[in-house]
Structure 1
């Protein structure tokens, strides 16, 4: 009988102690929804620099999730890089986030040594491959709204269709 009370009490304590964690996860886990303000996230670049997505308001941001084994990803990265080089002066930021946490940095450096887009090692926040598919891309406008979220490679046509109107928009005033 005493053992049952101890077990029930222990279970209640464990549940109560996990409640704040569960609640914070529910708030922090808000998924990106097209047309709504993008949930905040923290990017960790390959060089260790940490960037906050919320601080990028005023720029158009592309979050590209890719993998080394993904053939469409390896085709898409040079297209994204060339597009970025042409449009960065208009307020475009592109981050290529690897979905493979176990890939050693020395395997990523040769690829990104040739590219100007920023390679990210990880992201803390509700972004990632949609339905497990890579590449996955999110586009966030200057006001911080999600304007595109889709699994599948970006082509030049899609980039122009999605980004040109957003890059023409004025940055919101504070």
Structure 2
């Protein structure tokens, strides 16, 4: 039992330390999800913008830690063609709504209750963040979050906005 707990702790530590993968350049899987306002949001309709997709859950400590930082990015860069989509992956979206009532954000929150979109993006860590360029191509993927990662988010966002 102790051995299993040690392995689990090691895996959790490794996942939390994963950095941005190298640059990709492939079409981002398209999806449509219902937002917290009841509207459908379709990724392909956002073409022409740099899109950050952040997969998160209310039970995830690192997700809670980065959420206010992501909101700052959205407020600062949305006028420059930057869109942020927070995709909650929990089956019960009321948990996300409860968290957001405590820590409100200004960017769209989408619900992936069946994890169909999470599977398309191979999400295997919380949070996971994807950057999609203006042409609709998946360019960067980041698994996990630790303080300081937002500096790399900002650098990559700016790079894609300049393209």
Q: Please classify the TM superposition score into its range, dividing by the shorter chain length.
A: 0.7 to 0.9
Separation (CA, whole Å) in 1 of partners of 2:67 and 2:158: 19
- Which residue pairs with 1:157 in the alignment? 151
Structure 1 regions of 5+ residues with no counterpart? 1-32, 170-174
- Which residue pairs with 1:141 in the alignment? 133
What's the offset of the Cα at 1:129? Answer: 5.8
Q: Which residue of the other structure, out of 123, 134, 146, is the alignment partner of 1:130? A: 123
What's the offset of the Cα at 1:162? Answer: 1.0
- Whether the aligned pair in 2 keeps the contact of 1:42 and 1:124 (CA below 8 Å) is no
- Which residue pairs with 1:117 in the alignment? 107
Name the larger-Rg structure. 1
- Which residue pairs with 2:65 in the alignment? 75
What is the number of residues matched between the two proteins?
A: 135
- Whether the aligned pair in 2 keeps the contact of 1:91 and 1:167 (CA below 8 Å) is yes
What's the offset of the Cα at 1:156? Answer: 2.2
- Which residue pairs with 1:46 in the alignment? 36
Structure 2 regions of 5+ residues with no counterpart? 1-22
Separation (CA, whole Å) in 2 of partners of 1:66 and 1:58: 24
Q: Which residue of the other structure, out of 67, 86, 93, is the alignment partner of 2:76? A: 86
Separation (CA, whole Å) in 1 of partners of 2:138 and 2:106: 23
What's the offset of the Cα at 1:127? Answer: 3.6
Cα RMSD (Å):
2.1
Q: 1:161 to 1:45 in 2, by over 3 A?
A: same
What's the offset of the Cα at 1:124? Answer: 5.1
What's the offset of the Cα at 1:106? Answer: 4.6
TM-score normalised according to structure 1 size: 0.70
TM-score normalised according to structure 2 size: 0.74
Which SS does the other structure have where 1:101 is aligned?
A: coil
Separation (CA, whole Å) in 1 of partners of 2:81 and 2:26: 20
Which SS does the other structure have where 1:68 is aligned?
A: coil
Indicate the structure whose relative CO is greater, using CA pairs within 8 Å and at least 6 residues apart.
2
